Chains A and B, each alone.
With several copies, the nearest count.
Chain A
Amino acid sequence: MNGPGPVAEEPLEPAADATARGFEVTLENFTGPFDLLLGLIAKHEMDITEVALAQVTDEFISYIRRLRAQGEDWALDEASEFLVIAATLLDLKAAKLLPSGEVENEEDVALLEARDLLFARLLQYKAFKGIAAMMGSRLAGEAARFPRQVSLEPQFAALLPELIWRTSPHAFAALAAKAMEPKPPAPTEVGLAHLHAPKVSVKEQAGILAERLRTGGPQSFAVLTADAEGTLIVVARFLALLELFREAVVAFDQQSPLAELTVRWIGPDSAWSTERLSEEYDEAPAEPAAEPEAEPEESNG
């Protein structure tokens, strides 16, 4: 795969802000990957119901690359969410490069499903974003009205029925403790251990693939991912293959259009290490960041 097209280069928000205020700041005006995608789509004046997502792929991926450049400040699950979407977009882009024809094998079907799922999720998000905007203006409008809620005049207050009280001193103390519990900031560190999505290193997966291809001969992508525990690993191996291809150490063979793709090692037999791989997925190179001028506004009316 070729690198994404160049975009205007502007500095990102300082990372310190990103940790202090969380994801939204990292993404500046965007509240998540769907928001960003919608923004990019709006920028290109495309209708998401049309199959046009692949056109925003490059921009999206370049955006993600710059976010990845912020390294550890970026919460893992948020990063992986972006990675999954980026991978789906990559799939779609790859599909565009394939000769068009009937859908035959399972991978193509899976690819179409991935696309539909992404569209569906994007549309769903778009709907909620529209509703959220409406809610925001209603809440603001309501805040301009003040309810009458005045104290009862003493002669009426005296008539209030005797209070029913069933709270013991101990229950009362527990209530106080709960009410006064400090409200901690967002759990940026908490709970990473039990996350279903472990950190997946593209470079590490590239190492595994390289080893298998050098020793095991040509293999299909299906075979290469047969032992992957979960989607993230599959995605990482897919990205790793693209990286290996860019390094010109693997080649792809395909007997006929839409036939199974076989991966073959063409690099040196030894003395090759993943150190040579680009670090764009795993670590933070000090590459200057850029910012697409995507509009955060939604595209619907």
Chain B
Amino acid sequence: MAEDSGTAGPGEAMPDLASLPGGAKAALEAVLMVIDEPATDVELGEALGLSPVRVRMLLRELQDEYDGRRTQVPRGFELRSIAGGWRIFSRSEFAPVVSRFVREGQTARLTQAALETLAVIAYRQPVARARISAIRGVNVDSVVRTLLQRGLIAEAGTHPETGAVLYRTTAYFLERLGIGNLSELPELAPHLPGLEHLGDFDDLVP
């Protein structure tokens, strides 16, 4: 998770957190705000160059701020620890509003990008995200998340060598597509000229 992706990010060198506006606490907040999987104090500390003790202290400060311990005005989100990992969630008091937004605001149709990604997974399963990205030529992280959320795909263990999470389609997917099992997926070949190059994509995947 915390491993580097090879695509040189903007500046690999560790910045001096204290010199940044908001300091180490804001840096911690920046990470917590965008991670999907909860991160432990150890992981957070490593990324920030801080001890887990210091991280826990900052986490508690953030919790107090979000809960409005001093101002009496809580924020709409809260910092929760789940099974040792930390992540920001919407505050539980607002569940009715969030529910309403989810129920009515979300489109009930898959985007073209989601459909294409699902198609790649269906015909190449079990397959890692990096491989799907390489085949589609775009980042598919958020689309994969949508498909997982929709129950159309599920995790299927990890790649024996790279350790990357693999994905497969679900029974619900078969049901929606209206087929009994994967062997009923129509042949791909007639649509695919030059299949021989497909292997090329494997080389692109780390």
So, do A and B actually touch in the complex, CB under 8 Å? yes
Assembly CA distance A175 to B77 (angstroms): 38
- Known contacts being A121-B201, A149-B36, is A132 close to B176, with CB within 8 Å? no
Residues in B with CB closer than 8 Å to A177 are 188, 190-192
SS class, residues of chain A in contact with chain B: helix
Q: List residues of chain A with CB within 8 A of the CB of B138.
A: 23, 31-33, 78, 81
Other-chain contact of B91, A132, A145, A185, A300 (Cβ < 8 Å)? A145
**Given A143-B10, A159-B99, A172-B122, A127–B115 Cβ distance below 8 Å?**
no
Residue of B105, B115, B149 with most partner-chain A CB within 10 A: B115
User: How many chain B residues touch A (Cβ–Cβ < 8 Å)?
Assistant: 75
**Within 8 Å CB of B105, what residues of A?**
143, 145-147
Cα A88 to Cα B192 in complex, Å, equals: 22
Q: Is B142 an interface residue (CB 8 A)?
A: yes
Most buried by A among B107, B123, B139: B139
Assembly CA distance A185 to B115 (angstroms)? 19
Number of interface residues of A (CB under 8 A): 80
Known: A176-B120, A179-B135. A161 touches B108 (CB 8 A): yes
| Cβ-based interface call for A193 (8 A) | no
Q: Across the interface, do B186 and A127 meet the contact criterion of CB distance under 8 Å?
A: no
Given that A127-B192, A160-B149, A186-B141 are contacting pairs, would A120 and B36 also be in contact in the complex, using a CB cutoff of 8 Å? no
Q: Is the CB of A175 within 8 A of B92?
A: no
Q: Nearest chain B CB to A116's CB is how many angstroms away?
A: 8
A108–B89 CA distance with the chains assembled, in angstroms: 60
A155 within 8 A of B: yes
Q: How far is the CB of B162 from chain A (nearest CB, A)?
A: 12
Q: Are B89 and A148 in contact (CB under 8 A)?
A: yes
**Assembled-state Cα–Cα distance A150/B201 (Å):** 28
Mask of A68-112 contacts with B, CB within 8 angstroms, 1/0: 000000010110010001000000000000000000000000000
| Other-chain residue from B88, B149, B179, B187 in contact with A183 (beta carbon distance below 8 A) | B149
Distance between A281 CB and nearest chain B CB, rounded to angstroms: 19
Q: Which residue of A lies closest to B178 (CB)?
A: A142
Using known A-B contacts A151-B148, A186-B141, determine if residue A146 contacts B98 with beta carbons closer than 8 Å: yes
Contact B192–A156 (Cβ < 8 Å): no
Q: Which residue of B lies closest to A162 (CB)?
A: B108
Query: What would be 14 A-B contacts, judged by CB atoms less than 8 Å apart?
Result: A24-B112, A47-B193, A48-B193, A125-B137, A127-B191, A132-B116, A139-B177, A144-B92, A145-B91, A151-B149, A156-B34, A176-B119, A182-B194, A182-B197
- Interface set of A (CB-CB < 8 Å, partner B): 22-24, 31-35, 47-49, 75, 77-78, 81, 85, 117, 120-121, 123-136, 138-153, 155-157, 159-165, 167-170, 172-187, 300
